[in-house]
Amino acid sequence: MRQLLRDRPDRVPGRLRDRLPPMPGRSRSRSRAAWGPRLAWGLVAGAVVAALTLTFVLSGPSTAPAVAAPRPLVIESGSPPVPLDRLAERAADEAAAGGPPRLRKGTHVQSWSLGMSEDKPPITLPQERIVRWRPDGSHTELVVATDPRHPGRPVLSDEGGTPRLVDDRHVLLDRTYPPSWSDAPPQSPPPHDPAKLRAYLTESQFTDTPLTTPELLDATATLLDHWTLGARESAALARLLATEEGLRPAGQVTDRLGRRGQAYVSDSRGIRRMLIMDPATGAVLGLESTLTAPEPAFGVKRGDVMSYSAWMR
C-alpha cells in the first residue's frame, strides 16, 4: 500500500483517494506518501507489496467474496476509557522496572487487507508476516496466507496474479536477504525519547512538516512493520501519542487475536483509525482502519474494515 500510494497514486479510486490524509509527496519537496489509512485498490500488506500483484478481484462482478471480511472491533459496553496519559505512565513504570522486553529489529504481524475495483466485489486478504534479522545484517522474510479466526480453513490469496483459495498457512514468500545497513528511519533503531521519536517518525515519512494525528498513526504502523519495540521504546511511543489531541480514548476491546486492549480513536476524511494498546504495558497491539461513509461504486459500506494489523512479539 505504501508503495502504491507513493509510486502510483493514480491507481487509487478517486473518491477514496480524496479521503486519504494529505500526502506530503504531492506538495513538499522531500516527502513521500504517508500512505494514509493503508487503503487503495489492490491493497496489500506492508513490505510484502513487492511480492504480490496489485489486482485483487474475483472472476466476475456478481461473484461473492471467497472469504468473509472481518467486522470492525466493538468497544465493550460499559468499559471505562483509560486516558492515554495514564497508560503512558504505566508504560513508563514498566520501562523503569528494567528487564524484558527488549528492542528487536524485525516484525511479526497478522494483517487483513481489503482489495477493491469498480466492477468486482471487494475481497479481504489475510496474511501473517515474520521478518527476522541476523547479527551479520542479513534477514529473512516469511509470508503465509492465514486467518487465525478460522484455523485450518482455506484462505484467499492473489498468488500468481489471480485471487484463489489456498490451504491455510500456504507460503506466499520465503526469502533470505543479504546483509544491509541503513542509518535512516525506519531502518535505524528508534529512540526512546518522545521528542526524538517524533522526529524519527516524521523522517520515516519523508517529510519535514509536523505529522497530523492520522499521519502519526500511519508512521507508527511503519515503525512496527520494521521493529518489535522494547519497554523503553513502547513507553516513549505512549508518551508521544498521549500528546495528540486528535486521539481520544474509547474503551476496552478484544482484538482479533483474542487480546484485551484499550482503544484510542482518530477520525479523519472518512476514515476511522482505532489504535489498540496493551492496558498494562502501553505496547501497541494493533491498528484498524474503517470507512465512516459508504462507497457503493466500490462495493464498500460504512463500517467496512479497510485494513487491520495485529503486531506480536
Return averaged pLDDT per consecutive 10 residues of the chain, 313 residues in all. Answer: 38 45 34 35 33 32 47 94 97 91 97 80 90 97 94 87 88 97 96 97 96 97 98 97 96 96 95 97 97 86 93 94
Distance CA 42, CA 122 (A): 10
State the Cα–Cα distance between residues 282 and 37, nearest whole angstrom: 22
> Which alpha helices (DSSP H) does the chain contain, by range?
2-7, 14-19, 84-96, 194-204, 213-224, 231-241
Between CA 299 and CA 44 the distance in angstroms is 18
Q: In the numeric block, which cell numbers belong to residue 145?
A: 496466507
Check residue 261 and give its pLDDT: 98
What is the predicted pLDDT for the residue at 160?
74
pLDDT of res. 117: 67
Pairwise CA distance, residues 309 & 15, whole Å? 24
Quick one: pLDDT at residue 52?
31
Query: Can you read off the three cell numbers belonging to residue 208?
Result: 519535514
Distance CA 50, CA 132 (A): 18
Q: For residue 162, what pLDDT is reported? A: 76
How far is 255 from 260, CA to CA, in rounded Å? Answer: 6
Asked if 132 contacts 105 with a C-beta cutoff of 8 angstroms, the reply is no
3-state helix, strand, coil in the chain (%, to 5): 25, 30, 50
**Angle (nearest 5°) at CA 195 between 192 and 198:** 90
Residue for grid cell 541476523: 134
Question: What is the three-class DSSP state of 231?
Answer: helix
Angle at 254 between CA 253 and CA 258, to 5 degrees: 170
Domain ranges of the chain: 2-312
Amino acid letter, 226: H
Read off the C-alpha cell for 71: 467486522
Q: Rounded to whole angstroms, how far apart are CA atoms 171 and 68?
A: 21
Q: Which amino acid is at 301?
A: K
